[in-house]
Amino acid sequence: MSDIKKIKDDFLLKLKENLDLNQVNQIKTELFGKTGLISSQFKQLGKLAEDERKKFASDLNLVKNELENLITTKINDIETKEINKKLEKEKIDITLPERPFVRGKIHPVSQVIDEISSIFSEIGFSVEEGPDVENEYNNFTALNTPDNHPARDMHDTFYLDDAKKLLLRTHTSPVQIRTMLNDKPPFKIIAPGRTYRSDSDQTHTPMFHQVEGLHIDKNINMGHLKGCLNYFIKEFFEVDKIKMRFRPSHFPFTEPSAEVDIGYEIKDGKIVIGEGDKWLEVLGCGMVHPNVLKNVKVNPDEFQGYAFGIGIDRLAMLKYGINDLRAFFDCDYRWLNHFGFDPIDVPTNYRGLSR
């Protein structure tokens, strides 16, 4: 009995001292090792009489637990102190710059093409393409613009041969011709792409982008055209209401033809689309001319519908406040960085077109 008390008192005293981890572990071994003091006491249990044994065991266990707890606490304390000491040493200036990373950009024209595709996808248009080099027939003649027609003057055309049979397409409309020649109605397509006119000044570049739209079916009329464009413009500019004006115009390949203006105003030096009393021309459209349908072997008495052409670069400028068309094609690193879009910004219907 006194042995147990002595052990307890001695070691409580010892453990009160300022010990390091090794010393504590040594004490642990002294007490609980194979031949340790507490372990030895347990071995004596067998020699004791039945009645004494119970109490002895109980006392011994109490001491054992007390010392054990104390040692564990002591070890934890020391370890914590040591970790803290180590952490203290590892302290860095976290305001130093991170590892360098790169970030690419998508050109605003590409972004806007994706936005346009996404909007028209929702109402059932699919995307078609055509070659940049076209023949004179697809670009003009099939589109009811015969040779020596003054409407050809509206297009300053780049030619690839002296006979003027091969050219860079002046609009995306030849894709209408290709699509209709290759397939059977109904047609419901958009065709975005590069277009070319030999024109270069502040507001014209020799290459620019258009998106063509074509919807041919049995009963498609000007009301559908109006509805489609109204929907598109509203979705594109991400506004609830849009002021829009259809006014008569002329294109050889549509009859009747229209140009579409949208309302805008200038607020604090920025253009606001959809309100205001100024008008901005954004696109040309109309009902596909019966002559065009005949040229592509579609019966105009059975099928009719509309077509439209929109300047993509212009839309991008309006939506994203870009002033200078020429800068689109200048590849200035600063400009691309400023006006470009993050590649993860894929326009979608459910997440919205833009952030």
Partner 1 sequence: MKITTAWLKDHLDTKLNENQIIDKLTDIGLEVESVDSQSGELDEFVIAKILKAEKHPDADRLRVCDVDIGSGEPVKVVCGAPNAKEGLLTIYAPPGAVVPKSQMKLVVSKIRGVTSYGMLCSESELNLSNESDGITELLPEKYNKKIGENYFPKKNLNVIDISITPNRADCLGVRGIARDLAAAGAGILINQKEKKLDKKNKQTISVKIENEKNQACISFGSCLIKGVKNTESPEWLKDKIISLGQKPISAIVDITNYVMFDLNRPLHAYDVDKIDKGIVVRNSKKGETFEALDNKEYKLEDEMCVISDASGVLGLGGIIGGTKTGTELDTKNVLIESAYFSPRSIRKSSKILNIDTDAKFRFERGIDPLSIDQGLERAANLIQEICGGEVSEFDIQKIEDVKKKSLKFDPSLFEKITGFNIDTKEMITILDNLGFEIKENKGLLDVVIPSWRPDISQEVDVVEELVRIKGYDQIKTIEPEKVRKKQTLNLKQKLFHFLQRSIASKGYFEAITWSFTDSKINQLFIENNKEIKIINPISSDLNVLRSSIFSNLIIHLNKNLGRGFKDVSFFEIGPTFLGSEPGEQQTVATGLRSGKLARQSWLEKERLVDVFDVKSDVIKSLVEAGYNKDKLYIDDETPSYYHPGKSGRIFLNKGKEKVVAFFGDIHPGILKKLDIKVEALVGFEIFLDNLKKPKKSLKDQKTQYKYSDFQKSERDFAFVLDKNFKVQELMETISNVDKELIKSVKVFDVYEGTNIPEGKKSIALNVIIQSLDKTLTEDDLNKINQLIISAVESKTGAKIRS
Give residue for tokens 């050219």: 167
> Rounded to a whole number, what is the distance in angstroms from the first to the last CA of the chain?
80
Q: What is the DSSP letter of 352?
A: B
Distance CA 141, CA 155 (A): 13
Which residues in the 164-223 window bind partner 1 by CB under 8 A?
Answer: 164, 166, 168, 188, 194, 196, 198-200, 206-207, 219, 221-223
Candidates 100, 184, 241, 355: give the one binding partner 1 (CB under 8 A): 100
Candidates 15, 68, 231, 239: give the one binding partner 1 (CB under 8 A): 231
Kindly tell me which of 52 and 132 has the beta carbon lying closer to partner 1.
Answer: 132
Smallest gap from Cβ 289 to partner 1, in A, equals 7
The answer to whether 99 contacts partner 1 (rule: CB under 8 A) is yes
Which backbone phi and psi does 188 adopt, to 5 degrees? Answer: -150, 90
The answer to whether 57 contacts partner 1 (rule: CB under 8 A) is no
- Please give the full DSSP string across 184-233, using - where no structure is assigned: -S-EEEEEEEEEE-S--BTTB-SEEEEEEEEEEESS--HHHHHHHHHHHH
The answer to whether 320 contacts partner 1 (rule: CB under 8 A) is no
Candidates 11, 120, 140, 303: give the one binding partner 1 (CB under 8 A): 120
Smallest gap from Cβ 6 to partner 1, in A, equals 53
Candidates 249, 280, 322, 354: give the one binding partner 1 (CB under 8 A): 249
Residue type, 315: L
Distance CA 212, CA 180 (A): 13
User: Which region, judged by CB under 8 A, interacts with partner 1, from 32-40, 69-77, 79-87, 142-150?
Assistant: 142-150
The answer to whether 324 contacts partner 1 (rule: CB under 8 A) is no
Report the candidate in 319, 350, 320, 314 with the shortest Cα–Cα distance to residue 234: 319
The answer to whether 149 contacts partner 1 (rule: CB under 8 A) is yes
Peptide bond into 108 cis (omega under 30): no
Distance CA 282, CA 259 (A): 8
Kindly tell me which of 53 and 105 has the beta carbon lying closer to partner 1.
Answer: 105
Candidates 324, 337, 348, 351: give the one binding partner 1 (CB under 8 A): 337
SS3 238: coil
The answer to whether 328 contacts partner 1 (rule: CB under 8 A) is yes
Smallest gap from Cβ 172 to partner 1, in A, equals 14
In sign, the C-alpha dihedral spanning 298, 299, 305, 306 is positive
Number of residues that bind partner 1 (CB under 8 A): 89
The answer to whether 336 contacts partner 1 (rule: CB under 8 A) is yes
Report the candidate in 248, 244, 246 with the shortest Cα–Cα distance to residue 276: 244
Smallest gap from Cβ 310 to partner 1, in A, equals 16
Kindly tell me which of 82 and 330 has the beta carbon lying closer to partner 1.
Answer: 330
Distance CA 324, CA 204 (A): 10
The answer to whether 84 contacts partner 1 (rule: CB under 8 A) is no
Please check whether residue 277 is in contact with residue 263, taking contact to mean a CB–CB distance below 8 angstroms.
yes
User: Which region, judged by CB under 8 A, interacts with partner 1, from 29-37, 50-58, 268-276, 287-295?
Assistant: 287-295
The answer to whether 246 contacts partner 1 (rule: CB under 8 A) is yes
User: Which region, judged by CB under 8 A, interacts with partner 1, from 13-21, 31-39, 64-72, 159-167?
Assistant: 159-167
The tokens for 84 are 């803290």
